[in-house]
Amino acid sequence: MTCGAPLDVRDKVSDSGWREAPRLRDMTEFRFSASTCQVEGELVPVAELSLSPQDGVFFEHHVLLWKDESVPLGSMKTAGGMKRTLGGMPLILTVANGPGRVAFSRDAPGELVVLPLHPGMELDVREHAFLLATHSIQYSFVRIKGLANVLHGGSGMFMDRFVTAQYPGLLILHGNGNVLQRTLKPGEKILVEPGGFLYKDSSVAMQAVQLPLRTGMLGQHRMFLAEMTGPGRVGIQSMYVHHHSSE
Amino acid sequence: MNTYVCRYCRQPSDPSAPTCPLCGAPVDIRSAVSDSGWVEQPPIRDMAEIQFGQSRVQIEGTMVPVAEFALAEQDSIYFSHHVLLWTDPQTRLGNMSMRGGWKRMMAGMPLIMVEAHGPGHLALSDNHAGEVIALPLQHGQRMWVREHRFLGATGNIRYDWEANNVWYDTGEDSQHQDIHYPMGQYGDIFAAQDRPGLLLLHSPGNTFIRDLGQGESLLIQPSALLYRDVSVRAHMHLEYPRNQGFAFWSPRWSYHKVWVRLIGPGRVAVQSVYQPPEDYEAIRNSSYTTVHRW
């Protein structure tokens, strides 16, 4: 399984260790299982899949851009329906099975982040950032713990969790703007704007912390950031909605 | 003696570097100039570094670029709190309060700036696809910047703001005023004090710059103006087309085009993303305005 990243470009790492997600070239094609994925466009990229008969993917229904008439669609019920509804997450995920072609895109300028998952990996993703995942990946969602984290964390009530058991899988996310990734050592901390958080290994702990700053008229607003503690990867997006304070 | 001057930041620079060490603009490219004299500001290259004081800032990404600062102990920057993307825990953050809180709140401007003191790392990014523009300011140099375009500035740059005085009223009468500020109600003014400083802006879309000669004028979309030398004057200009369409139907309607006239001398910059002002309601009153009826 590959991820489509160009091999003939230098790794782009900032002085503090943030690595840019590899920018997928227009019309880049890569394989997963017996199927292929082609990335089209650079401003609001589209992921076009050519699914083989034994493969399938699941996704949120509103990211489906087009499909062959012959591609069957099904639904994948998720646990905790009421909780998901209250949390603003889709109640039912949609499944597309091969053979046939199907394409996906989200509605914002940004980058596709292709994450091949090896067996035994767990990845937490900001809600509404996931574009598609192959059917070998187990999907669940985790509640963000702590009232302060929910109220001030800016990441909603839940995060999507993707787990691979014995088979590898392919997960594609849509990041708004540019996407940067950093690997934290055990115990290493970084403070991230909650709206900029995109994904993390489940080994990375996340909690909202208050900064010694006040904003707004008479300083009535407190300012919170998400404290990430390693070990593991953290991905951020450079375009985001500022959640935690107002003027 | 160094005679190379960067064509974008207008400062003596190093022609042997791949990018200008003061503003990050590529050095080894041909100038892209339109027939009318607009110079396209080239985007700062991915991972380009800009030096200021004992610190540096690195620009990452090309779609919604991130400005990542490595602050030395004696250096500081300030910014509006909502552009903070991430920070090291050891970077010291504090409030920088400003005068005119009520007016700033009513105008939708940030009330409180955040100061960050080194040593440490932090990164800023805005929420629009566009470019980061680096403007090194020499001692005593002042620059007007459109509100909400400011990303960050070094601690030695003084920040102030003033009313743009470009407005018009489409209210029905004096009791029901509906005042519009096509350039924003206020503009930010930045001035380098005792030593040179660095000002970073975020420009939605692409950016073009032009030098106006003494008395030379230009009409632009009011919300497209990104920055200008304070020597450039600005006032409103209205054009009424000959054919008013259905505007005769109601005295409240009057088709017109709202411009801002810029008058040199000085440098002006425009961004390619803007919001045209509404053009169908009759204007009752305005700031100083020239009018042309076709």
Domain boundaries, chain A: 23-237
Report residue B92's pLDDT band, with 50, 70 and 90 as the boundaries: very high
The predicted structure's pLDDT at residue A146: 62
Q: Record the tokens describing residue A46, joined without a space.
A: 């589209």
Q: Which residue of B has its CA nearest to A13?
A: B47
B127 touches chain A (CB under 8 A): yes
pLDDT confidence of residue A244: 45
The string of pLDDT tens digits covering residues B37-48 is: 899 988 899 999
Pick from A191, A217, A245: CB nearest B89: A191
What's the fold here for domain A23-237? Double-stranded beta-helix (3.60.160)
Strands A100-104 and A64-67, sheet pairing: antiparallel
**Average of pLDDT values for B119-127?**
94
pLDDT in tens, chain A (247 residues): 667 777 766 778 898 889 888 778 889 899 999 999 999 988 899 999 999 999 999 998 889 999 999 999 998 877 666 666 666 666 678 999 999 999 999 988 999 999 999 999 999 999 889 999 999 999 988 877 665 666 655 666 688 999 998 899 999 999 999 999 999 999 999 999 988 999 999 999 998 888 877 766 656 677 888 899 999 999 999 998 654 444 3
Q: Please check whether residue B201 is in contact with residue B157, taking contact to mean a CB–CB distance below 8 angstroms.
A: no
**d(C-alpha B145, C-alpha B139), whole Å:** 18
pLDDT band at B128 (very low <50, low <70, confident <90, very high): confident
187-206 of A, contacting B, C-beta below 8 A:
189-193, 196
Considering only CB atoms, B93 lies closest to which of A178, A212, A239, namely: A212
pTM for the predicted model, two decimal places: 0.86
Optimal mutation site among A11, A19, A43, A178, interface B, most CBs of chain B within 10 A: A178
Yes or no: say if A65 and A84 are a contact pair by the CB < 8 Å rule.
no
Three-state DSSP state, A38: strand
**Structure token digits, residue B192:** 């380098």
d(CA A58, CA A78): 12
Q: Do A223 and B121 touch (CB under 8 A)?
A: no
On chain A, the residues whose CB falls within 8 A of the CB of B108 are 247
> Hey, what domains does chain B have and what are their CATH numbers?
39-206 (3.60.160.10)
Query: Residue B107 pLDDT more than 70?
Result: no
Relative to beta strand B289-293, strand B233-240 is parallel
Query: Taking CB atoms and an 8 Å limit, are A109 and B129 in contact across chains?
Result: yes
pLDDT digits (tens, 9 = 90+) for B146-188: 999 999 999 999 998 899 999 999 877 777 888 999 999 999 9
Say yes or no: ipTM exceeds 0.85: no
Give how far A79 is from chain B: nearest CA, Å.
33
Q: What is the DSSP letter of A52?
A: -
Cis amide leading into A99 (omega within 30): yes
Measured over the CA atoms of residue A68, residue A70, residue A76 and residue A82, the dihedral's sign is positive
The Cα B274–Cα B126 span in angstroms is 16
Whether residue B216 has pLDDT greater than 80: yes
Min Cα–Cα distance to chain B from A154, Å: 13
Q: How far apart are CA B7 and CA B32, in angstroms?
A: 11
Question: CA A213, CA B113: separation in Å to the nearest integer?
Answer: 10
pLDDT at residue B31, as a whole number = 81
Q: What residue has token string 């594609």?
A: A172
Average pLDDT over residues B1-17: 82
